[in-house]
Amino acid sequence: MATETNDKLPEGWVLRELGDRELCEVVAGSTPSTSNPELWDGDILWITPKDLSGFKGVEINDTAKKITRAGYESCSTHLLPAGAVLLSTRAPIGYLAIAGKPLCTNQGFKSFVCKEELNNRYLFYYLKSIVPQLQAEGSGTTFSELSKQRVSEIEIPLSPLETQRKIVSKLDAFFAEYNAAKKQHELAKKRSEKIMQAAISKLITNAAGTWPETKLGSLISLNYGKGLTSVARSGGRVPVYGSNGIVGQHNSALVNQDTIIVGRKGTVGALHYAPFESWPIDTTYYVSVTQGIHLDLRFLYYALKQYDLLGMDTSSAVPGLNRNDVYALDFKLPPLTEQMRIVSELDAIASQISSLTDRQSRVGRAIGILPSAILRKAFSGELVAE
């Protein structure tokens, strides 16, 4: 499998296939019979792609399932040494890790035991750099998969061993800084959310003591959205809302005034304020205020953020929000002038937070493109160029 690399490799570099046994050994995995309990709950680590779902590190030292010696001997899995590079090649393609301890894999992996002239972390980072290409190379009717033969044909731009070590050192340092920056970015987003919640708590929750209380169902109706497939959306000026927010545009509206979109299925309880016209789809509710009730929709939008609507999911299979549960909630309603004063203050805070989060989003996008850029430099020789 030819890979997309610089046509002009630096002096001393060569293209080699990973199936070259002088470079590394490509090893497949297997699964013992799941119907025989004697093959399971042993002390031999046995990894599946699920173990790497959400895994952020490089070395993995534990697995959710373990097999016995009998389980190991019952199938064609192999005990890989510590340092082996693990690549998931089905369901999905592209999870990567290095074995921190000897372990076995299921058939969802092709693993690499590196020989002396190939640094295992150098291989790990190279495979990381070509994950999109590997995913595009997958084939299969049930799910996409890479065969052992196709994996063996992957070409790696192999630099001298000392150069490999220098590249790995630079990449280790970069990804340590990158992960720290990414963590700080996520913390900044969470801080912004906490600032808004604190403001709502101060201006609504803590001030509600003297306001008259009623049930939310006497103030509003939660109306079902209407299905609108992506094919049917015309791409006009009207935003189409799903439970996660805007999912497209259309040329006509289901709702011709301001409303609040509430996630009904999927992202249960998510809240989105929709000014002007909108089309909420069938995974959502949209809010209408009961006739004769003096309730500012922006005030309601902020007030609803006090409630744990996600915790009101009553479905055991697909998450769902029952509107009758929402109607039963106690709600304290201040005079309209007080609502408008609170909304003015909260809108001002939200505007400041929005400016901050916009900057954070730009930073996040910039951070996101850095890994692919640095990996391209690494395997074209630019990262260690004199």
Residue 114 is predicted with a pLDDT of 98
Choose among 261, 269, 272: nearest CA to 312: 269
Mind listing the pLDDT tens digit for each residue in 212-249? 999 999 999 999 999 999 999 998 999 999 999 999 99
pLDDT digits over 24-68, tens only? Answer: 999 999 999 999 999 999 999 999 999 999 898 999 999 999 999
Q: Which residues pair with 139 in a beta bridge?
A: 145
Please tell me the distance from the alpha carbon of residue 268 to that of residue 283, in angstroms, as a whole number.
Answer: 9
pTM: 0.68
Category of 99 on φ-ψ map: left (φ > 0), alpha (ψ -120 to 50) or beta? beta
Query: How far is the C-alpha of 287 from the C-alpha of 224, rounded, in Å?
Result: 9
Please report the pLDDT score of residue 336 as a whole number. 96
pLDDT at 8: 80
| Full set of structural domains in the chain with CATH | 14-158 (3.90.220.20), 212-333 (3.90.220.20)
Find the angle CA(279)-CA(283)-CA(284) to the nearest 5 degrees.
60
- 250 vs 309, more confident: 250
Q: How high is the pLDDT of residue 315?
A: 61
Q: How confident is the model over 123-142, as pLDDT tens digits?
A: 999 999 999 999 998 887 67
Q: Is 106 helix (H, G, I), strand (E, B) or coil?
A: coil
Residue 344 confidence (pLDDT): 96
Overall average pLDDT of the 112-123 stretch: 98
Return the pLDDT at 127. Answer: 97
Taking alpha carbons only, the member of 64, 58, 67, 66 closest to residue 99 is 58
- Whether residue 1 is predicted with pLDDT greater than 90 in this model: the reply is no
Mean pLDDT for 313-341 is 87
Question: What percent of the chain is predicted at pLDDT more than 90?
Answer: 76
